[in-house]
């Protein structure tokens, strides 16, 4: 098998190199970071899951002011409504955490989000975003025909072979195989019977997905350098997706305290937890995780838990305190560097990969 950086997926996406920026929600993927990765020849992805429609539109237009290169936008396909029926059970531990940051107790659940997934998708269609990617499931049926008619490409992140088959049958153009090493939310479609999400490693997951689907596959999870890119291609993927590697880039929107925690962490620092959002996600274990786990309280389901913990996380950020932030990270943090420009990271990945392929 001949391994090359010029894959068919690169041609289809209109990019020079098989490097994809993960769509990390919550602020890290600034317009500057997305545009820089795309400008350098990869595919930048805006993590827009927690952004309202106006914020998404503004970010898309900001990206386009910086670059004419293709980019993507990532959303969460989980359309569950906020479920606060067990709020009284988690209220004591949440209020204890709030008190640690000087916040007043919260006796009632927060207000629900004022926007819907459908409204977010409408913006992507109106703005003709080249690539629409989803986590937690494929793009909803209602929009597949409209997206295909518009000539836009859809990608779905999966954590098992079965999910990959479901995504392909549902019309996904590209599959992102997310190994258990990946930081952030596990993209497992149904976590009702898998509280930690599926955790098959990247090395095992990618070739099995490649063998079962006909659409291109992107490898994700623990990839931090050119060696990981080449390994992804050797496993049959047509590109590698990296998230954690870009969290400490100069253009990253990750809070400085978050970046410092990343740079001080190791491969043993992360755990998969549901205490921040209600869905399993990999991040650095901190005081928030320890205290919630010790309380014995069962987190609220997603997205209610995410909304119930948001004010705590925001207060922690204001205090430059990483102990109550959701410090999403993969298992390759020893390979992080501080303050590199995103374009230089892409160039370094490509150079390392090319040297390996020549050798």
pLDDT tens for residues 245-289?
999 999 999 999 999 999 999 999 999 999 999 999 999 999 999
pLDDT average, residue stretch 222-249:
98
- Per-residue pLDDT tens digits for 105-114: 999 999 988 8
The encoded tokens of residue 268 equal 């043993």
The residues, any chain, with a CB within 8 Å of residue 290's CB and separated by 6 or more, are none
Asked if residue 196 has pLDDT above 90, the reply is yes
d(CA 219, CA 190): 21
Asked if residue 2 has pLDDT above 90, the reply is no
Q: What are phi and psi of 18, to 5 degrees?
A: -80, 55
Question: 71 has which bridge partners?
Answer: 44
d(CA 171, CA 100): 47
Contact between 274 and 281 (Cβ < 8 Å): yes
Range list of H helices, 67-116? 87-100
Averaged pLDDT of the chain: 97
- Predicted model pTM: 0.97
Asked if residue 1 has pLDDT above 80, the reply is no
d(CA 327, CA 322): 8
- The rounded radius of gyration (Å) of the Cα atoms in the chain is 19
Distance of CA 168 to the CA centre of its chain: 20
Among 185, 180, 181, residue whose Cα is nearest residue 159:
180
d(CA 308, CA 300): 9
The residues, any chain, with a CB within 8 Å of residue 291's CB and separated by 6 or more, are 93, 96, 97
């Amino acid at each position: 098998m001949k391994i090359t950086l010029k894959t068919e997926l690169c041609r289809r996406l209109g990019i020079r190199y098989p490097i994809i920026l993960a769509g990390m929600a919550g602020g890290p993927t600034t317009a500057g970071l997305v545009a820089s990765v795309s400008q350098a020849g990869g595919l930048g992805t805006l993590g827009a899951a927690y952004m309202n429609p106006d914020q998404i539109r503004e970010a898309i237009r900001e990206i386009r002011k910086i670059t004419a290169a293709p980019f993507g936008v990532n959303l969460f396909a989980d359309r569950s409504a906020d479920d606060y029926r067990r709020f009284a059970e988690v209220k004591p531990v949440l209020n204890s955490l709030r008190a640690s940051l000087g916040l007043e107790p919260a006796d009632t659940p927060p207000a629900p989000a004022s926007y819907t997934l459908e409204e977010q998708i409408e913006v992507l269609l109106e703005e003709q975003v080249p690539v629409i990617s989803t986590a937690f499931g494929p793009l909803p049926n209602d929009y597949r025909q409209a997206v295909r008619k518009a000539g836009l490409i859809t990608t779905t992140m999966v954590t098992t072979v079965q999910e990959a088959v479901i995504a392909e049958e549902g019309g996904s153009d590209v599959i992102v195989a997310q190994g258990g090493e990946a930081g952030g939310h596990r993209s497992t479609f149904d976590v009702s019977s898998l509280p930690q999400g599926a955790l098959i490693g990247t090395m095992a997951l990618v070739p099995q997905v490649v063998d079962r689907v006909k659409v291109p596959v992107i490898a994700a999870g623990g990839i931090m350098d050119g060696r990981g890119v080449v390994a992804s291609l050797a496993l049959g993927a047509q590109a590698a997706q990296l998230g954690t590697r870009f969290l400490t880039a100069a253009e990253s929107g990750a809070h400085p305290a978050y970046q410092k925690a990343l740079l001080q962490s190791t491969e043993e620092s992360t755990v998969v937890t549901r205490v921040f959002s209600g869905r399993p996600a990999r991040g650095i274990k901190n005081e928030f995780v320890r205290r919630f786990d010790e309380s014995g309280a069962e987190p609220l389901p997603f997205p209610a838990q995410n909304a119930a913990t948001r004010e705590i996380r925001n207060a922690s950020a204001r205090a430059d305190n990483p102990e109550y932030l959701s410090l999403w990270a993969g298992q390759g943090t020893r390979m992080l560097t501080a303050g590199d420009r995103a374009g230089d990271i892409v160039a370094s990945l490509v150079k390392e990969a090319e040297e390996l392929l020549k050798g």
